[in-house]
């Protein structure tokens, strides 16, 4: 019921708010997809990756290069960018996932830094600091009864991206609640025990990492198409840190956590109308407060509260006839 109410709210919201707030919701939807990808590898598989910004940049630039340089149109470019992001995730995951703990974190951080440097330095391919422009919007989709769905307005783009957010969230839900998803959770809780039970931990972590990269590649391609211009800052590792903050505030290892956390940390600075350089400070303060007072995040804390309310309290002395 909560999911249905939330979906209804985000569907109807653009009809009552202006274009500026609609664009904010649109960006929240894109970054939520990125958060869902991080949640799969970190929240459910227990592997903290700082490489999400790299996959976001790879998805965006792969989409741009194929669509603008090769002129293949939106849909071929979109699916190719998703696959390319997954391939990079697979190739990087092979050596990185053989490491554990802080060593894995450092490798993913290094990969994110390398991708950012390559995008900035390879001027002939990526445009360097000037970035790339001319990204195409989604091609019209013909309808069976005639006519077509066109994506030439902010509202139509909003619903287009919202569709992919719901799709990615649904796929993530199916994966997490499948037998494969159960092995992800088992690995996150005790990898050595999972391996002793016959689970190939490395292959399952690699699968989770690859799917996570593909989800983030989708976010990158959608951002490129919506914004029409992409620049190297898209792949800076600070975006990975922002996504991690969204996830911690929303609730690590919960389905709604990436959506709730992204909304809270993006909506509060907008509501306060703060200048851009203060947003990082405000988000840092919010993150610190959550880590100290609500470490399970909003969704995790709410679930804990509900479960405690559902448990019968201990009888007071004398209630059961005792002394």
Question: What per-residue confidence (pLDDT) applies to 259?
Answer: 94
Residue 323's pLDDT band, with cuts at 50, 70 and 90, is very low
Distance in angstroms (rounded) separating the CA atoms of residues 28 and 157: 13
Tell me what pLDDT residue 273 has. Answer: 64
**Proportion of the chain above pLDDT 90, given as a percent:** 59
Predicted pLDDT of residue 6 = 83
Residue 131 has pLDDT above 80, yes or no: yes
158-216 pLDDT tens trace: 999 999 999 999 999 999 999 999 999 999 999 999 999 889 999 999 999 999 999 99
SS3 18: coil
Residue 320: is its pLDDT beyond 90?
no
Contact (Cβ atoms closer than 8 angstroms) between residue 42 and residue 261? no
Q: Record the pTM.
A: 0.90
Q: What are phi and psi of 148, to 5 degrees?
A: -160, 155
Confidence (pLDDT) at 275: 62
- The model's confidence at residue 291, banded by pLDDT at 50, 70 and 90, is confident
Q: What is the pLDDT of residues 27-69, one digit of tens each?
A: 999 999 999 999 999 999 999 999 999 999 999 999 999 999 9
Share the mean pLDDT of the chain: 88
Helices and strands in the chain, H and E counts = 14, 2
Burial of 224 (0-12, 13-18, 19+ CB in 10 A): buried
| pLDDT at residue 318 is higher than 50 | no
- pLDDT in the model for residue 139: 86
Environment class of 34 (CB within 10 Å of its CB; exposed 0-12, middle 13-18, buried 19+): buried
Give the pLDDT score at 305.
Answer: 79
pLDDT computed for residue 312 by the predictor: 60
The arithmetic mean of pLDDT across residues 107-117, rounded, is 94
pLDDT band for position 272 (cuts 50, 70, 90): low
Position 317 pLDDT exceeds 50:
no
188: β partners: none
């Amino acid at each position: 019921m909560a999911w249905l109410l939330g979906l209804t709210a985000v569907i109807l919201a653009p009809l009552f708010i202006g274009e500026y707030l609609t664009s904010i919701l649109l960006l929240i939807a894109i970054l939520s997809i990125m958060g869902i990808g991080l949640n799969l590898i970190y929240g459910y598989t227990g592997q903290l990756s700082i490489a999400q910004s790299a996959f976001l940049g790879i998805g965006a630039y792969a989409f741009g290069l194929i669509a603008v340089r090769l002129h293949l149109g939106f849909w071929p470019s979109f699916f190719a960018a998703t696959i390319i992001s997954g391939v990079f995730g697979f190739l990087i995951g092979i050596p990185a996932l053989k490491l554990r703990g802080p060593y894995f974190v450092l490798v993913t951080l290094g990969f994110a830094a390398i991708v950012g440097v390559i995008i900035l330095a390879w001027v002939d391919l990526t445009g360097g600091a000037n970035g790339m422009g001319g990204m195409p919007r989604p091609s019209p989709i013909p309808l069976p009864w005639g006519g077509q769905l066109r994506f030439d307005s902010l509202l139509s783009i909003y619903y287009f991206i919202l569709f992919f957010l719901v799709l990615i969230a649904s796929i993530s839900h199916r994966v997490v609640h499948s037998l494969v998803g159960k092995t992800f959770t088992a690995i996150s809780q005790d990898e050595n025990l999972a391996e002793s039970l016959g689970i190939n931990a490395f292959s399952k972590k690699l699968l989770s990492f690859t799917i996570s990269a593909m989800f983030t590649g989708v976010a990158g391609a959608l951002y490129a198409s919506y914004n029409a211009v992409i620049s190297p800052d898209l792949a800076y590792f600070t975006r990975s840190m922002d996504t991690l903050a969204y996830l911690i505030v929303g609730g690590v290892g919960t389905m709604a956590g990436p959506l709730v956390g992204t909304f809270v940390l993006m909506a509060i600075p907008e509501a306060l109308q703060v200048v851009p350089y203060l947003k990082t400070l405000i988000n840092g303060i919010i993150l610190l407060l959550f880590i100290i007072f609500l470490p399970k995040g909003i969704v995790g804390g709410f679930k804990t509260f509900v479960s405690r309310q559902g448990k019968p309290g201990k009888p007071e002395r004398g209630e059961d006839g005792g002394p």
